[in-house]
Amino acid sequence: ATSNLGGQSNLSGTSYASSDFGNIRMNINAYPSYQFDNYSQSSSGASNDSLRFGPHAHDSPQRKTAYGPPATPPRDPCDQIIGSFSSPGSSISTRGTALSFVGSAIITIGDWRVMACLGTGASSTVCKAEYLADQTAGALKVMDKEAIREGNIKEAIMRERDILVECDHPNVVGIKEAFETEKKVCLVMNLLSGVDLLRLMINEGAPYHFTEPRAMFYAAQIALALGYLHSKNIVYRDLKPTNVVLDHSGNAVLVDLGMAEKLPPGGQSDVQFGTPSYRAPESLRGQKYGCEIDWWSFGVLLYELVAGRNPLYGLDAEEILEELAERLTYAGMSPVLKDLISQLLEMDKSMRLCNGPKIESHPFFESMDWEKLRQGEVPPAACKSLILTD
């Protein structure tokens, strides 16, 4: 599972210096234990492992998958991405922005050619990229190592990667590859060409919400995704409209598993984070919780899709716990939808509707053919402004 292929290059011809983050070599079929923080070098100067896994790592014999220290450390190509979107008057957060290449050079990171900026966060930038060998598209998430150290989130990054590797579901974003450069850690995920649910509601225009049949379609796919994660003891912990993105066909896909955690069977977590207006009461109180917190968030999301607003938006934890009942109004909603949401937004988690099969059998989903939905045979809900332009 380890490698001593120091000083070698990838398809782009780039060789990167090793770092104190340690390296990991993984593939899709099986992956070994690893050390992320305790980097060591062999007597030859080659790294002991490689932070690399993916389908290309084992199905392409000519591919070099390890990074050793070059004679003259090159400029980290990831810095070019940041620089390209940091010039005066530019916006790194503009989704779909074409990349301004430095001179005439094409920016490559690992075996990926960077094409456009999709968005940015506190410690990461997401770009559209193409695999050099076959032009396969991917979403390249570039994370700054210094920001990772300062934020003490190395374990979270590795946890996200491991969860992505474990998951294989049409409604959960897939991962293609993970690797590091001298200054950055990179994840390459499946590229989704659609918008997120919040943007979709806005793009649809007034009254900025979905009909119940349309909301039912998206909710059903999200329920399948959550049920799949929970079957693997993975709690998602960050369900909200911006984390549900449509693929090119209009199907809902959960993205950004950075807050997800794999629990031991029957286990609970006491890590408290997430967007307050979507967090379950037990989390807001600082109590331990399991996968049931995701179904609370599911209830808030379903309410928002139909009502066009999050009833708890802008409230702090104490206000949410005190004002929930008066904030929930069901004007214009069908009795079956009101019943479903009220069971999902149950303050007492022992009374909350937290069972996938029971949710599927709820009258609100009476017209949904769940088996066909699982097989991808239910046509996606029609919508405007579905696909992002390149």
Whose tokens are 């909710």? That residue is 219
Q: Distance (Å, rounded) from C-alpha 72 to C-alpha 59?
A: 31
Cβ(14)–Cβ(106) under 8 Å? Answer: no
Burial of 269 (0-12, 13-18, 19+ CB in 10 A): middle
Q: Distance (Å, rounded) from C-alpha 201 to C-alpha 217?
A: 14
Q: Is 238 a known active-site residue?
A: yes
Nearest to 140 by CA among 125, 122, 160, 121: 125
Q: Distance (Å, rounded) from C-alpha 378 to C-alpha 370?
A: 9
Q: What are phi and psi of 179, to 5 degrees?
A: -160, 175
Max Cα-Cα span within the chain: 71
Q: Distance (Å, rounded) from C-alpha 139 to C-alpha 188?
A: 5
- What are the DSSP calls for 327-373, one per residue? H---TT--HHHHHHHHHHT-SSTTTS---HHHHHTSGGGTT--HHHH
Task: For residue 125, list its beta bridge partners.
Answer: 120, 142
Cβ(235)–Cβ(269) under 8 Å? Answer: yes
Q: Distance (Å, rounded) from C-alpha 387 to C-alpha 308?
A: 21
The catalytic position among 79, 196, 238, 247 is: 238
Q: What is the sign, positive or negative, of the torsion defined by CA atoms of 259, 264, 266, 267? A: negative
Residues 6+ apart with CB under 8 A from 324: 311, 312, 345, 347
Whose tokens are 């290449």? That residue is 101
Active site residues: 238
